[in-house]
């Protein structure tokens, strides 16, 4: 029985990390001059990013409640938490896949720029959002795998 409890605890920790990665952390990243108060963005675009951040924040709170405070012997709350994260991360990657349809970009010149690396005389650019969310999806994937 201890092995199951240890596994559930590990899954809860991993899902907590994934939850924070798609709720609280983006709020800090987006409530500043690069997004929500960016004077170059239209007011309507800023409205949408604030709406998105607040919505994801509430979903994160609900997810954390399910993970740590909902009294249940069932794995259902863990699956619901994982689904919430998968929905948010899935939306990010779907928007990435179709960005050419709506003229989207993965960064703006006055926002979070890609990190530049020189390796063997070759310059590589690492997009901060795509990299961070890819890591979070890997964490989420491990958590869901452990539930099975």
Per-chain mean pLDDT for the chain: 94
Domain containing residue 95: 2-147
pLDDT at 36: 94
Question: What number is the average pLDDT over the span 93-102?
Answer: 97
What does the pLDDT look like over 14-64, one tens digit per residue? 999 999 999 999 999 999 899 999 999 999 999 999 999 999 999 999 999
pLDDT at 110: 83
123 DSSP β-pair partners: 118
Provide, rounded to the nearest whole percent, the portion of the chain with pLDDT above 90.
Answer: 83
pTM: 0.91
Dist CA 41 CA 21 (whole Å): 24
How many structural domains are present in the chain? Answer: 1
pLDDT at 108: 86
How is the chain split among helix, strand and coil, in percent rounded to 5?
A: 70, 5, 25
115 DSSP β-pair partners: 126
pLDDT at 78: 96
What does the pLDDT look like over 109-119, one tens digit per residue? 888 899 999 99
Q: Counting Cβ atoms within 10 Å, is residue 66 exposed (0-12), middle (13-18) or buried (19+)?
A: buried
């Amino acid at each position: 029985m201890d092995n199951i409890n240890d596994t559930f605890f590990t899954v809860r920790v991993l899902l907590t990390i994934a939850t924070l990665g798609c709720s609280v952390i983006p709020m800090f990243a987006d409530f500043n001059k690069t997004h929500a108060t960016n004077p170059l963005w239209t007011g309507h675009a800023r409205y949408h990013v604030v709406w998105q951040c607040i919505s994801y924040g509430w979903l994160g709170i609900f997810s954390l409640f399910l993970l740590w405070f909902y009294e249940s012997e069932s794995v259902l709350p863990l699956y619901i938490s994982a689904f919430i994260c998968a929905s948010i991360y899935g939306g990010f990657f779907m928007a990435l896949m179709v960005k050419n349809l709506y003229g989207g970009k993965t960064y703006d010149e006055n926002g979070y720029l890609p990190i530049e690396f020189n390796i063997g005389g070759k310059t590589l650019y690492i997009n901060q959002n795509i990299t961070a969310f890819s890591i979070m999806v890997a964490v989420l994937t491990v958590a869901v795998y452990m539930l099975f």
